[in-house]
Structure 1
Amino acid sequence: MGKYGLKIKNFEAAVLYEYNLGLRTSMSMTDAMLSNSLLLDFLEKNGLEDYKGKSTRDVICIKFSFGCNDFKTNMNRLEEQIDKGSCENIEYLEELKEKLKANKERYSKITAQELRTKFYTEGVDVTWTDKKKTTTIHYKMLYRSTGKAKEGSCMFINERLYDKAIRWMRMGIELPEHNAPIVEIGAYASLVGSGIVNRIKIDPKNILVLKDVDSYTKTSVISIETDENKHSFAKKIENYPLKNTMFDGQALIDSSIFPEWGEGYILLRHHFFKAAAFNSEIQLFMKDYFGDEYDTAEVTDMFGRKMKAKDVLLITTDNALKYLKFDVSFEYWSDWVRENGCEFGIVKTAHPSKLGELQRMSYQMVNALDTRKMDSVIKTSLEYIDRLKRDDDFFLDYLRKNANFANDFEVLVALVENDRDFMDSDYFRERRNYVLKNYAMNFKNGRLLQNADNLVIVGSPYAMLLHSVGDDPLSDPTFGVEDVAIQCWTERFDDGEYLAEFRSPFNSLNNLGCLHNKKCKLLERYFNIGKQCIAVNMNGTDFQSRNNGSDQDFSEMGQF
């Protein structure tokens, strides 16, 4: 297997459909990737064929970007090309025209959605031609991942592997004939197909599952409603109850099993399971809480299952366990987890900004701010541009951090490192001016620099520890409620600082808030979330409502 997975081919459904009908003489395809995942691990152990560990034909990707046109539409387009003389080879177009006429009865209008339905229900054939032989493989739709939902692309698998793969992905869950939750099981079964960077072993016997907790606060809101004539109007409501689901999709993981290369948290995936697990001192808390009774102390999960406090290495809630929507027990799920040696996939961890202490704003964020504050908002960016102009080493460091295959930054740096005088050449000066000009253009488009970063959110983590031992999570002493700001804790900023908080993605002016960074000894003792994560008070605040229901199961990012 390659570093990132196996190469596969990506097809356009309409092109594949017409090729199979004989309406095309060739079939275009592009390269795609079957990323390293728990699913790929399973397939490689269960019959997936690959070529030198680099590519496979047993899995393909199909996009449904457009449909097929009928005979009349195709003919009109072809005649327009011939009339315009847009192609040097008119004879070739005339040949296509004759072929079009010969296959007139085969052409029919079919939409992208109709193609999707057809491929989903019937599957599709792909003919592969090698130097020595021609092979036709029938593929069946395996899953449509959430990451590909906007593009409308799906993964199809060789029918030889389909039954085994789909049973494993769905944990053997059988769907009813009527009113089956197809969409839900499709979304959750695909979690094992998420691309991962590494794996971590966690036995279900060391996982404590808690019922999530709702916290309410009352505030004044402006509600957009409609009258009997379906006209919208704004209505101000006092003492409106707002809810935070305090630990929605998050988990705490003991530092003893947290990977050394991780930064603050790891995003975990397994069968019907997804959670952002934050580096914590669970066992230190248990020892402090139970004292002399630590060795024999027990805690109880939401299923009534008792376990030794000293055995708890991961704490999560029911919102992370998607199998609960299908009336499956924890024990049943545990058996499937143990099938692959209890290895959970790690999708990602936190990473610092390439700009060090700085981060770029988007134009949406800038538009949300008071124009009277713009002088202070643009101050850091102007200073940064000025330093790029004056400081040679700073400019070279900028080139190093932003080098990629599409620019010559790496070459420029190498030439300067070979001979410092190269910086005085006309060529380097021209390139520097060009780089600075483009950077200034980004600045004008709202890509302003701030002392900021994208931080991963964890909700009231100490309250989660209290909840794990049966104490009231709403009695969490680490945070208080303020009138203007919501209290938080992060090592990224100084104690006592007030922070502007922008939800990411930033959809509207409503997704802007004010946080107050408060140092806390309890949080410092029991959590190692570092500079790339932020703990936010979910008790008695409007944080989730203010941020369009921001939760932690996808590790929502907030810029501060």
Structure 2
Amino acid sequence: MSEYGIKIKNYEAAVIFEHNLGVRDFIDSTRAMLANSLFTEFLVANGLEMKGNDSTRDVVCINFNFGASSYKQQVNKLKKSYEKLKDLDPETRTQKKKKLDQVSAQLEEKKFDYQKKSIRDLRILFYEEGVTIPYYRLDRNMKPVLQEEIHYRMLYRTPGKAKLGSCMFIRDELYEKAKNFLRMEIQLPEHNAPIVEIGAYQSLITSSIAGKIEIKPEEILVLEDFDSFVNQNVNCIDVDDENHCVSRFVEGYRLKNTMFDGQALIDESIFPDWGNGYVLLRQHFTKCAAFCTKIQKFFKEYFGDSYESAFLTDMWGRKVKASNVKLITTDNALKFLKFDIDFEYWAECVRKNGCKFGVVKTAHESKLGELQQMSYQYINALDIDSMESVVEESAKYVQALKNEDWFFLDFLRRNANFSNDYEALVALVMNNPDFIYCDYFKQRRRAIINGYIKRFKNGKVLQNADNLVIVGNPFGMLMHAVGLDPEKDPTFESEADAIQCYSERFKNGEYLAEFRSPFNSRSNLGHLHNRLSPLISEYFKLGKQCIAVNLCHTDFQDRNNGLTKWVSCRETCF
């Protein structure tokens, strides 16, 4: 298995179906990857047959992008191909016509074998009955010879593939073992089974991971999430009797923030050095954004002399020894609770998996250093009168690209990839500094800068900003763990015209403009006030890529339609 995963085949359902009917000569495929995950490790340890060191036939990816054609549809396609012959030169026309005549003869011969199937029909067929895929090898005469046939069953469809409809199918012999692992052997009822829900949550453990952290279930403290409310005047979007959207003003509407929804605090002793303050964790039916915290330092100082004998109470009344706690999270991170599974059952499944939690994501700084690009959606949300100050940073950046050689070379280094010549240009200059004065380098520099200006005109405007990962009232979550009221979080205060936050990325006292990402509407723009609380600095290692926001008695979640990451820019840019 490579560092990225295991190579597999990617097929189209309609192509497989037509080949198995005998109306298509071969099954074409593309390459795909079964990414490194806790599930992939389980398969490798439980009978997955590898071809060489990095590929397998036991798992395939199947797409449902188009249906299978009928005989009549194939005839119409062939007619269109014949019509295109008139635009070709005589020699090419003769060659193409000969091939089309062969196709026409084969089409007529198999006219009664065609079956029309829509995408929905194919999906139902493959989901219910599975699919058989033949594999061929070439003999000495370069003719295909059937090597083996494998019957596959649909295993899971990841949430990330929901729009594309891609599904992972697995060999019959491995299906039950793999399904039981993904579902923790949860048995669904015969009627009204939550197929959609379990399909979404069982695939969490298949997420691609960059690393692993060992966390024992007895080291996890699960709390019931906490809701904070605020009464505020709002414009509500409603539907009238004629099914039209209407806006109505409501005074004193009660807004709710779920303060710790989907987040966790992870002790610094097990936090990976490469995490940058935040790791996104996956396990069986579990997902949470975990932030680096000095949990044990807080408990030692809170409990004092009774620290070694102190116990905390979780949401089910279980006693958890304070000195053992490595992870604090809430019920919203544990999706198995939706299926009436208790914590101990889940804990046993985690132990069978070696108590390993997969790290799916970490926080990363912008490729542009202190700068980040806005998008046209953000620009459209601002007043036209502010545009001069909005583009000021980009204008300075373009001038630096034109006039500062070191700045332009640094730009090339940051943006080099396999499809451009930036790395080669830098290498040539490093080998001979006078290369920057030659006509070729000047021509390339001019073209590269013009390309950047074109992107700028399409809305990629630079700001002193970055994409930051949000955590709600982290100190309040520590308070919640020891039974204190999180709404009395001393790290933030309520303000009339701004919401307080904590970001080491910006200076203390700065006012910030925040944009939700993705930016759905103008209402997803907020006004923050950066307050570098000593308590957060003392008990958390958030770094510059995370931001804590006050959710006590604010409209932050409603204003942003719920969010996981967003762009924060200095208000002075506007």
Q: TM-score range by the shorter chain?
A: over 0.9
- Which amino acid is the alignment partner of residue 456 of structure 2? F
Of 522-531 and 51-60, more deviation after overlay is shown by 51-60
Secondary structure at the counterpart of residue 416 of structure 1: helix
Of 448-457 and 120-129, more deviation after overlay is shown by 120-129
Question: 1:456 & 1:260 partners in 2: Cα distance?
Answer: 17
Contact kept in structure 1, 2:465 and 2:567, CA below 8 Å: no
- Which amino acid is the alignment partner of residue 64 of structure 2? F
2:436 equivalent in structure 1: 423
Contact kept in structure 1, 2:515 and 2:525, CA below 8 Å: yes
1:506-544: per-residue Cα shift (whole Å, max 9, x none)? 111111111110011111111101000000111101111
Give 1:131 deviation, angstroms.
Answer: 4.2
- Which amino acid is the alignment partner of residue 170 of structure 1? R
2:392 equivalent in structure 1: 379
Correspondence 1:98 to 2:111: no
Contact kept in structure 2, 1:63 and 1:152, CA below 8 Å: yes
Question: 2:226 & 2:367 partners in 1: Cα distance?
Answer: 37
1:288-328: per-residue Cα shift (whole Å, max 9, x none)? 11111111111100011001111111000000000001111
Of 411-420 and 272-281, more deviation after overlay is shown by 411-420
Question: 1:124 & 1:104 partners in 2: Cα distance?
Answer: 23
Question: 1:199 & 1:283 partners in 2: Cα distance?
Answer: 21
Correspondence 1:238 to 2:251: yes
1:70 equivalent in structure 2: 70
Secondary structure at the counterpart of residue 271 of structure 2: coil
Correspondence 1:54 to 2:63: no
Contact kept in structure 1, 2:63 and 2:167, CA below 8 Å: yes
Secondary structure at the counterpart of residue 302 of structure 1: coil
Of 489-498 and 473-482, more deviation after overlay is shown by 473-482
1:504 equivalent in structure 2: 517
1:433 equivalent in structure 2: 446
1:119 equivalent in structure 2: 126
1:216-227 equivalent positions in 2, closer than 5 A: 216-227=229-240
Give 1:187 deviation, angstroms.
Answer: 0.7
Question: Among 542, 556, 559, which residue is 2:565 paired with?
Answer: 556
1:450 equivalent in structure 2: 463
Secondary structure at the counterpart of residue 385 of structure 2: helix
Question: 2:462 & 2:502 partners in 1: Cα distance?
Answer: 23
Structure 1 runs of 4+ aligned residues shifted over 3 Å read 555-560
Correspondence 1:399 to 2:412: yes
Question: 2:396 & 2:457 partners in 1: Cα distance?
Answer: 15
- Which amino acid is the alignment partner of residue 70 of structure 2? D
Contact kept in structure 1, 2:514 and 2:566, CA below 8 Å: no
Of 397-406 and 201-210, more deviation after overlay is shown by 397-406
Correspondence 1:291 to 2:304: yes
Question: Among 331, 337, 341, which residue is 2:344 paired with?
Answer: 331
- Which amino acid is the alignment partner of residue 31 of structure 1? R
1:181 equivalent in structure 2: 194
1:40 equivalent in structure 2: 40
Question: 2:367 & 2:300 partners in 1: Cα distance?
Answer: 39
Give 1:229 deviation, angstroms.
Answer: 2.6
1:19 equivalent in structure 2: 19
- Which amino acid is the alignment partner of residue 105 of structure 2? E
- Which amino acid is the alignment partner of residue 390 of structure 1? N
Correspondence 1:110 to 2:117: yes
Give 1:226 deviation, angstroms.
Answer: 2.6
Question: Among 182, 185, 207, which residue is 1:172 paired with?
Answer: 185
Secondary structure at the counterpart of residue 261 of structure 1: helix
Give 1:26 deviation, angstroms.
Answer: 2.1
Question: 1:29 & 1:15 partners in 2: Cα distance?
Answer: 9
Contact kept in structure 1, 2:512 and 2:568, CA below 8 Å: no
- Which amino acid is the alignment partner of residue 545 of structure 2? Q
2:143 equivalent in structure 1: none
1:226-282: per-residue Cα shift (whole Å, max 9, x none)? 322333322111101111100000000000110112101110000000001000011
- Residues 196, 294 of structure 1: CA spacing in aligned structure 2 closer, same or farther, 3 A cutoff? same
Question: 1:251 & 1:329 partners in 2: Cα distance?
Answer: 19
Q: Structure 2 regions of 5+ residues with no counterpart?
A: 140-145, 570-574
Give 1:171 deviation, angstroms.
Answer: 0.3
Secondary structure at the counterpart of residue 360 of structure 2: strand
Question: 1:152 & 1:514 partners in 2: Cα distance?
Answer: 39
1:339-350 equivalent positions in 2, closer than 5 A: 339-350=352-363
Secondary structure at the counterpart of residue 61 of structure 1: strand
Question: 1:113 & 1:77 partners in 2: Cα distance?
Answer: 22
Correspondence 1:79 to 2:92: no
Correspondence 1:363 to 2:372: no
Question: 1:456 & 1:341 partners in 2: Cα distance?
Answer: 29
Question: 1:352 & 1:556 partners in 2: Cα distance?
Answer: 13
Percent identical among aligned pairs is 56
Question: 2:239 & 2:45 partners in 1: Cα distance?
Answer: 57
Give 1:461 deviation, angstroms.
Answer: 0.6
State TM-score, norm by structure 1. Answer: 0.98
1:486 equivalent in structure 2: 499
Contact kept in structure 2, 1:362 and 1:448, CA below 8 Å: yes
Contact kept in structure 1, 2:472 and 2:551, CA below 8 Å: yes
Secondary structure at the counterpart of residue 308 of structure 2: coil
CA-based RMSD of the aligned residues comes to 1.2
Question: 2:289 & 2:559 partners in 1: Cα distance?
Answer: 21
- Which amino acid is the alignment partner of residue 470 of structure 2? I
1:110-259 equivalent positions in 2, closer than 5 A: 110-131=117-138, 134-259=147-272
Of 278-287 and 122-131, more deviation after overlay is shown by 122-131
- Which amino acid is the alignment partner of residue 565 of structure 2? E
Contact kept in structure 2, 1:456 and 1:558, CA below 8 Å: no
1:43-90: per-residue Cα shift (whole Å, max 9, x none)? 000000112221111111111111122221221121111122167411
Question: 1:516 & 1:25 partners in 2: Cα distance?
Answer: 65
1:402-446: per-residue Cα shift (whole Å, max 9, x none)? 111111111111111111121112111111111111100000000
Question: 2:237 & 2:278 partners in 1: Cα distance?
Answer: 38
State TM-score, norm by structure 2. Answer: 0.95
Contact kept in structure 2, 1:9 and 1:30, CA below 8 Å: yes
1:347-392: per-residue Cα shift (whole Å, max 9, x none)? 0110111100000001101111111000000000010011000111
